[in-house]
Amino acid sequence: MKFKGNRVVGMKPKTRLPIVFFLCFCFFLVLLFGYIIFSLDLNRNRSQRKFLQKFPEEEGDSFGHGETGDSSISSIPFQVLSWRPRILYFPNFASAEQCLSIIGMAKSKLKPSSLALRKGETVESTKGIRTSSGTFISASDDSTGVLDFVERKIARATMIPRSHGEAFNVLRYEIGQRYVAHYDAFNPAEYGPQSSQRIASFLLYLSDVEEGGETMFPYENGANMGVGYDYERCIGFKVRPRQGDGLLFYSLYPNGTIDKTSLHGSCPVIKGEKWVATKWIDNQELEK
C-alpha cells in the first residue's frame, strides 16, 4: 500500500488543520486549569507568601494603588543584622557607578568633619573624636540624579518621607581616621532641648575598605554596657564596608526615647580608604 506522506487516513486536508488547533487549545486549557488548581493549593498552604509575591494575577502582579503609591511591586532585599539596636543591611543598594559618581561630586568639597558639642565641650577638647573629612550635598544640588535615586530608595526602604532626611553627609576616612563611639540622636540632657530628633541613620558605603573602617556597635544586644566601656575601643558587633551596600539603624525606640544600644562608631581605617554617604532621618520635616 502507498500513502502520500503527510496524509491522515479518511480525512480531508481542509478539516485537518482546525482539528489540530482545537487539540492544541484543549491541551492548553488542561495546562491552565492544572496551574490554577495547583496555585490555589499553594495559596492555601502559604497564603502570606503567595499573597505578597503573586496576587492578584490579573493586575500584572500588583495591587491597585493610591495616588501616591507605586504601580508595581518591587523588592529591596535586606537582612536584619540586629534587633538591639534595630539594624538592617541592604546588599547592593546602589551600583558601583553610582557610588563612584557620589565620590566624584564630593571629592573637591571635603573639609574636616565637625561635631555637635555638648555643654562644656570645645572644638579643642573634642579633637580626635571624629577625624574624617566630609561635605554635605543635597539631592537637589546633584544634576546627575544619583542622589535623587538613592534618596528615593531610602525613603521607600524606611517608609519615612524624603522631607525628613538631612542632606547627604559624604565622608572620607583615610588611614588612621575614625569616629569614636557616639549616638546620632541628641540627648536633651546633654545637648539641651531639641526641635528635631534623629530617628534613624542610613549609611551607604561608597567604597570597599581593604582593612579596618568597620561600623561598630559596641553595645549590640546589651554587650559592654555598664562596665566602663572606653569609647575609643573598636569592639562589639562590626559591619565591614562594601561598596554599594546600605546599613540602616534606628537611634530611637518606637516610643521616641533614645535606644542606648544604638551607640556606634567608625573603626580606624588600617589599609585603603573608606567613603560613605550618611543620611540622617529626623522625626520632623526639615526645611530645604
Ligand X SMILES: *[C@@H]1O[C@H](CO)[C@@H](O)[C@H](O)[C@H]1NC(C)=O
For ligand X, the binding residues (CB under 6 A) are 253, 255, 257
Give the nearer residue to ligand X in terms of CB position, either 79 or 255. Answer: 255
Give the nearer residue to ligand X in terms of CB position, either 123 or 189. Answer: 189
Give the nearer residue to ligand X in terms of CB position, either 9 or 80. Answer: 80
Per the listing, cell 544634576 goes with 143
Least separation, in Å, of the C-beta of 155 and ligand X? 25
Give the nearer residue to ligand X in terms of CB position, either 122 or 255. Answer: 255
Least separation, in Å, of the C-beta of 252 and ligand X? 9
Least separation, in Å, of the C-beta of 280 and ligand X? 21
Give the nearer residue to ligand X in terms of CB position, either 138 or 283. Answer: 283
Least separation, in Å, of the C-beta of 102 and ligand X? 35
DSSP string, the chain: ----TTPPTT--HHHHHHHHHHHHHHHHHHHHHHHHHHHHHHHHHTHHHHHHHH--GGGTT-----TTS-SS------EEEEETTEEEEETTSS-HHHHHHHHHHHHTT-EE---PPPTT--TTTTTTSB--EEEEE-GGG-TTSHHHHHHHHHHHHHT--GGGBPPEEEEEE-BT--EEEE-SS--HHHH---SS-EEEEEEEE-S--SEE--EEETTGGGTTTTS---TT---SEEE---TT-EEEEESB-TTSSB-GGG-EEEPPEEES-EEEEEEEEESS----
Least separation, in Å, of the C-beta of 218 and ligand X? 19
Least separation, in Å, of the C-beta of 251 and ligand X? 13
Give the nearer residue to ligand X in terms of CB position, either 78 or 253. Answer: 253
